[in-house]
Structure 1
Amino acid sequence: MDISNLIAIDMHVHAEVSCRCAPDLFGKEFDDAAEKYFKFQHRPTIPETIARYREARVGLVMFTVDAESNLGRRRIPNEEIAEAALENQDMMRAFASIDPHKGKMGAREARRLIDEYKVAGFKFHPTVQGFFPNDEMAYPLYEVIAEAGLPAIFHSGHSGIGSGMRGGGGLKLKYSNPIHLDDVAADFPDMKIIIAHPSWPWQDEALSVCLHKPNVWIDLSGWSPKYFPKELIHQANTQLKHRMLFGSDFPLITPERWMSDFEAAGFRPEVHPLILKDNASALLGFA
């Protein structure tokens, strides 16, 4: 990345619309419910998202979510996102997503994506994928990630996906309690773990894990900063100031709105550059 030309690095950007594969309309009710919950409609293509971030001079980490086993929906190809990142290396990195239920085949895919497509990390969503992060089913995949020295982002806390649907769409929130990541951080001390989102209703668990395990970070995506819990802001201003990361959750929240609300949310001026860019730069290996 050309860090000097970027005003921030957004660690949490979703690939929404593939330019290679037709949308999988199976399970479209999840999309409809998410649009109602988050009050948004437009789902941009991958090139549209990149163009938006380039114009804003904001770097981005983009990924899809592979939940093929639990939801029965085709994912956007990891290769499509990775190739877009390789074409925009000055301001973009790709994280891959592999359903942990794919076992050894998933681990093989991870190794191939690292070797051939230079993916910079991995994304997991325990609620949507239907697994506890500390389930040893996922450990072969973690072993590949740890060996490569790459980070992995894990959704945590409440899920807007499934919210309002009958039975929550069958999705179970228990999988995304961040305390389960404590086991992963202990068992894989060389894997950089990012707990995504303010982890309501388990915010204290996330902060405790991050304070206890030096290989854990928190990305602040998915919420406007004006709604952040006071303890989260306190820790970001003090003990955890080097392990908090800017993330928007685009397109659910725009980076412009997040950064605007961040200015007035009570973060100390000296931690602004750390959260917006410097911590991510160090985590991704640019500093």
Structure 2
Amino acid sequence: MIIDVRLRPPFKGFKQQFSPAGNKAFSARFGLTSPESVQQISEELMLREMDEAGITCALATGRNGHFRYNVPNDDLVEMTAHYGGRILGAAGLNCADVPQAMADVEKYVINGPLKAVSMEPGACPVPRYADDRRLYPIYEMCQAHRIPVILMLGGRAGPDVSYSNPEIISRIAADFPNARFMVSHGGWPWVQAVLGVCFWQENIWLCPDMYLMNNSGVQDYVAAASTWLQDRFMFGSAYPLMPIGESLAIFKSLFKESVLPKLLYKNAAELFNITIS
């Protein structure tokens, strides 16, 4: 049983992230091969790749207010039905329009089928840091309703590396101690710093996804996830930027068997309230 918490299928608005040449070049930077499902932008081949890897279900994050492209939350609702619940959704929030973002939380998560919210404030046309006080009403709402908040803090989370600084999530997690935050891209390249934050602040989960693949900082992630962080660390393939099968094989090779059930599905099932029969 495996839950991939960062996967985007070739469905409606998500197709904008499928660029055969670009995806191939990106995977190659990590020494990996872009799969045929990406090269052909094939839904059928992606599902086959998931089957071959043993992926039980996946979580796709929406995008709204992003400077490059957007995936409407209505697409995610339709996606959930289209895949029969095998690919679940997190509502993408427009961090430049807080009232609309809160309305989307109400519509798509509290009263809808989506499992979480996803925020990329550094990717707004006018970038914001995730601890910008203007965003606090969203966090307060999510805390009140026990809705997980996925924050992209790592990689290219903004115009420069400061938008991924772990001081940001440390401040937010302290101000909302009963909220639950997942840091996608794992705070990379601030690996030791974000792990230091997670050591003391237990309402933060990490998913390094592609930055765990043949990359610097891997052993620090592994040391933490093998011991004190094993209940708050998750697998994400970052498909279509990375291949599902190869990414999963690398992930499994890094950890001892005793912690893999938590990292591969138990932690994600608990955080996102996913029931798997």
Superposed pair shares fold, TM > 0.5: yes
CA distance in 2, matches of 1:8, 1:252: 19
Q: 1:204 to 1:18 in 2, by over 3 A?
A: same
Q: CA deviation at 1:197?
A: 2.2
Find the aligned partners of 2:110 and 2:116 in 1 and give their Cα distance. Answer: 12
Give 1:18's match in structure 2, choosing from 12, 16, 27: 12
For residue 3 of structure 2, the aligned residue among 9, 17, 32 is 9
Q: CA offset at residue 23 of structure 1?
A: 5.8
Query: Are residue 98 (structure 1) and residue 86 (structure 2) matched?
Result: no
Contact 2:155 2:185 in 1 (8 A): no
> In structure 1, what is the equivalent of residue 169 of structure 2?
181
- Unaligned segments of structure 2, at least 5 residues: 29-33
Aligned-partner residue type, residue 167 of structure 2 = I
Q: 2-side partners of 1:35 and 1:121: how far apart?
A: 30
Q: Secondary structure at the match of 1:264?
A: helix
> What does residue 65 of structure 1 align with?
63
Local SS of the residue matching 2:210? coil
Is 2:225 aligned against 1:231?
no
Matches within 5 A, 1:38-77: 38-39=27-28, 42=39, 44=41, 49=46, 52-53=49-50, 56-58=53-55, 59-68=57-66, 71=67, 73-77=68-72
1:195, 1:217 within 8 Å by CA — same for their partners in 2? Answer: yes
CA distance in 2 between partners of 1:43 and 1:78 (Å): 25
Give me the whole-angstrom Cα distance separating, in 2, the residues matched to 1:46 and 1:178.
Answer: 36
Please say if residues 7 and 60 of structure 2, whose CA atoms lie closer than 8 Å, have aligned partners that are also in contact: yes
Percent of aligned positions that are identical: 21
One-letter amino acid matched to 2:128: F
1:220 partnered with 2:197: no
- Give the drift of 1:235: 0.8
SS in 2 for 1:117: coil
Q: Is the partner of 2:239 in helix, strand or coil?
A: coil
Deviating 4+ runs (over 3 angstroms) = 21-24, 30-57, 86-90
Shift of 1:224: 4.4
Report the number of matched residues.
263
Q: What's the counterpart of residue 131 of structure 1?
A: 128
Q: 2:226, 2:259 within 8 Å by CA — same for their partners in 1? A: yes
Cα deviations across residues 145-178 of structure 1 (Å, max 9, x unaligned)? Answer: 222211111122222x8xxxxxxxx823311222
How far apart, in 1, do the equivalents of 2:214 and 2:205 lie? 20
Q: How many Å apart are 1:36 and its aligned residue?
A: 4.0
Offset from partner CA, 1:209-261 (integer Å, 9 cap, x none): 21111111101302344435322111111111111101111111122111111
Pick the aligned partner of 1:141 from 127, 131, 138.
138
Q: Which residue of structure 2 lines up, in the alignment, with residue 151 of structure 1?
A: 148
Contact 1:100–1:141, Cα closer than 8 Å, also in 2: no
**Farther off after superposition, 115-124 or 40-49:** 40-49
The CA RMSD over aligned residues, in Å, is: 3.1
SS of the aligned residue for 1:247 comes to coil
2:31 equivalent in structure 1: none
Aligned to 1:223, the other structure's residue is in SS state helix
Q: Which amino acid aligns with 1:215?
A: N
Pair 286,198 (structure 1): closer, same or farther in 2 beyond 3 Å: closer
8 Å CA contact retained: 1:9, 1:276: yes
CA distance in 2, matches of 1:103, 1:143: 12
123-132 vs 236-245, which moves further: 123-132
